[in-house]
């Protein structure tokens, strides 16, 4: 897919930390319960750390106790791209930023969380940047 923001690999490496690059550009995963936003309750908007696109709001964030920030819906339906992921011997749905194609995490459905969508967008903290609404 063509993205609004496309950069050569060398530029992504220069702009992102090694961990950010690994997760965002190589579809890596940060260790569970270590991310900056796993337990935060700060109100605001979560942006893509690679390109600044608005992805999720704090009002859609919920406690799933899975080790990564969880959201039940993106800020805008066009904010993320969903792709079938057959890595690691299983079938999952990968979540990418629709603006730059960066890997954010995975989305799961039917797990029984009491959310309006019955979905859990399990997103790496390192993929996000929070802009607080709090004074």
Which positions are annotated as active-site residues? Answer: 122
Report domain extents, the chain.
9-132
Residue 46 near residue 128, CB atoms below 8 Å? yes
How do residues 49-86 score in pLDDT, each as one tens digit? 999 999 999 999 999 999 999 999 999 989 999 999 88
107: number of Cβ within 10 Å: 22
In Å, how far are 14, 81, 102 from 1, measured between CA atoms?
23, 10, 12
Strand partners, 127: none
What does the pLDDT read at residue 77? Answer: 85
Choice between 13 and 135, residue whose per-residue pLDDT is larger: 13
**Given pLDDT bands bounded at 50, 70 and 90, which one contains residue 134?**
confident
Using DSSP, state whether 120 is helix, strand or coil: strand
DSSP 99-119: TT--EEEEEEE-S--SSSSSE
Distance CA 125, CA 112 (A): 23
| Cα within 13 Å of Cα(82), Cβ side | 14
**Given pLDDT bands bounded at 50, 70 and 90, which one contains residue 135?**
low
* Total H helices, total E strands in the chain: 2, 9
Class of domain 9-132: mainly beta
């Amino acid at each position: 897919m063509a993205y609004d923001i496309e950069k050569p690999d060398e530029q992504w490496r220069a702009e992102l930390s090694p961990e950010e690059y690994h997760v965002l550009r190589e579809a890596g995963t940060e260790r569970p319960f270590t991310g900056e936003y796993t337990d935060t309750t700060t109100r605001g908007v979560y942006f893509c750390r690679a390109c600044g696109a608005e992805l999720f709001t704090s009002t859609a964030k919920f406690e799933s106790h899975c080790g990564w920030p969880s959201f039940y819906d993106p800020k805008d339906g066009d904010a993320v791209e969903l792709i079938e992921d057959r890595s690691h011997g299983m079938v999952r749905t990968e979540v990418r930023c629709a603006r730059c194609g960066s890997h954010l995490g995975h989305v799961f459905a039917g797990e029984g969380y009491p959310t309006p969508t019955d979905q859990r967008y399990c997103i790496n903290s390192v993929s996000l940047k929070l802009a607080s609404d709090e004074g």
